[in-house]
Amino acid sequence: MSTRGLRTPFLRVAKNGRTYAAGDYTAPGGVGAEIGDQLSDSKLLALFADGATLVLQGLHRTWAPISRFSGDLAAELGHPVQVNAYVTPAQNTGFSDHYDVHDVFVVQIAGTKTWRIRPPVLAHPLRTQPWENRKAAVQQAATRPPLIETTLQPGDTLYLPRGFIHAASARGEVSTHLTIGIHTWTGHHLGRQLQSYAATRLAADPRVRASLPAGIDLADTAAAAADPAVIAAVDAARETLIAAIKAAPVSELVAALAPAHRDGTRPEPVAPIATVMAADSMAAERMATEKTAAEGLAATGIAADGPSEAPAVRLRAGLAARLERRGEELVLSSRLGVQPVEAAHEGALRSLLAGETLAVAQLGVAETQHLLRAGVVVLAPIPGASMPGG
C-alpha cells in the first residue's frame, strides 16, 4: 500500500458501515507520479489508527500467489473467482450487516474476528439485486438472533452462500482475512440467452414484420389494447416467441454464454519482454545453426534439422483453449481469441492441450515463435533435462 503506487479502485476504506470517499485516502505521488488517485500512506495511517478497515480489492490481480490460486480455483469450479483482503483494527467493525450477490469463502489469516450470520431476505440474489435495494429488510433481519455466531482463528474458513446476511468485528488484535468470491453462473444467465435467442427469431416471421394499420392511437392505451389488429400482432409475436423458446438448442445457449465465461477469468500471467526475447533468440539460433550446418554438410547433401538443444513450451494456464476446424483451416480458440495454426502440427498441438510439455522441435521453431508471441504457450523446463545440482 505504501511503496507500489497502488491506485483506486484496488483499495476501499470503511468504518462501521460507512465507506470513505477515495479522496480521503489518496493523493498524488510527487514529481513524475502526479496521478491523484494513488494511495496515501499518511492518510491511511490516520484512518487505520482511527479504526477504519482497509480493503485490498482485486488481490488476484495484484499479488502473484493469490493470482495463481484464484486461477486454479476458477478452472476447477467453472465459475469466475475474485479475492479481496480485509484488514480491521482491534475491536472495530468495517461493514454493517449486508449480503453479497456472490458466494464467499472467508479465510482468516491473522488475528481473530467474530462473525454473525443470519438467513437471507432474498434467496440466491442475482448481481442485479444488491442488498442496498433491500436495506430496510436487511436492517430488520439484523435485529433478530443470528443463525450462526462464531469467532474465526487463523487458518479457519467460513462459507457464506450468496444472500446470507453477515457482519464481522475484530477481537483483541488487528484482524486480516481473505474473501474468495465465487461469481456463479446461474439459470438466469441461460434464461437471458434464451430470451435473446427467441427475440432474434421474431424478425423471421412475416406476420410480426407487418405494419399496424393507420389510425391507431397508441397513446390511448385502452383503445389500442382492444384493437383487433393490435391483438392479432401480439398473438403472432407471442406464438413466434413461444415456438422459438421451445425449439432453442441448449448448445446454442451455452455457446452464446461462452464469451462472457472466457472474459470473466484471466489466463496465467505472461512475461512480455522475456517471451519476445526468447522467440527472437530461437530465430537467431535457428539461422546460425542452419548456416553452420549448411556450410559443414553441403558436400554430403544432408539437411540440418535445427538446433540440437532448444527450450520447451507448455500451454499457458487458464486459456480454455480448444482446437477447431473452420472449413479447411485449423484454429486454436481460447480466451485470447482465435489463432490459426499449422495443420501439420495438429498432433503436437493436441498433446499441448492435454497438458504435455513439448520441445521446440516437436512444434517447429516458426510455430513455437508464433504461439509464444500470441501468448498461447509459455517457456517451460526441457522434458527430461536435469535440474541444476541434480
Asked if residue 117 and residue 73 are part of one domain, the reply reads yes
Establish if 44 belongs to a structural domain. Answer: no
Q: Which of 207, 238, 263 lies at the terminal end of a domain, its last residue?
A: 263
Distance CA 216, CA 324 (A): 52
Establish if 46 belongs to a structural domain. Answer: no
Establish if 278 belongs to a structural domain. Answer: yes
Asked if residue 198 and residue 151 are part of one domain, the reply reads no
Query: Any idea what the CATH number is for the domain that residue 87 is in?
Result: 2.60.120.650
- pLDDT, tens digit, 9 for 90 and up, residues 315-328: 998 888 999 998 88
Asked if residue 335 and residue 251 are part of one domain, the reply reads no
- pLDDT, tens digit, 9 for 90 and up, residues 116-164: 999 999 999 999 999 999 999 999 999 999 999 999 999 999 999 999 9
Q: Which of 263, 280, 315 lies at the terminal end of a domain, its last residue?
A: 263
- pLDDT, tens digit, 9 for 90 and up, residues 358-374: 998 888 899 999 999 99
pLDDT(290) > 60: no
Report the domain count for the chain: 3
Q: What is the mean pLDDT of residues 192-219?
A: 92
Give the domain range for residue 237. 187-263
Establish if 241 belongs to a structural domain. Answer: yes
Establish if 194 belongs to a structural domain. Answer: yes
pLDDT(22) > 90: yes
Establish if 25 belongs to a structural domain. Answer: no
Asked if residue 112 and residue 218 are part of one domain, the reply reads no
Asked if residue 226 and residue 119 are part of one domain, the reply reads no
Establish if 215 belongs to a structural domain. Answer: yes
Establish if 156 belongs to a structural domain. Answer: yes
**Cβ proximity of 94 and 175 under 8 Å:** no
Q: Which of 133, 160, 182 lies at the terminal end of a domain, its last residue?
A: 182
Q: What is the pLDDT of residue 176?
A: 96
Asked if residue 191 and residue 178 are part of one domain, the reply reads no
DSSP code for 220:
S
pLDDT(99) > 70: yes
Q: What is the pLDDT of residue 266?
A: 86
Q: What is the pLDDT of residue 249?
A: 96
Asked if residue 256 and residue 308 are part of one domain, the reply reads no
DSSP code for 178:
E
Asked if residue 70 and residue 122 are part of one domain, the reply reads yes
Distance CA 83, CA 104 (A): 9
Q: What is the mean pLDDT of residues 279-302?
A: 58
Which helix (H) or strand (E) segment is 237 a member of?
A: helix 228-247
Q: What is the pLDDT of residue 94?
A: 85
Asked if residue 328 and residue 231 are part of one domain, the reply reads no
Buried b (16+ CB within 10 A) or exposed e, 199-234: eebeeebeebeeeeeeeeeeeeeeeeeebeebeebe
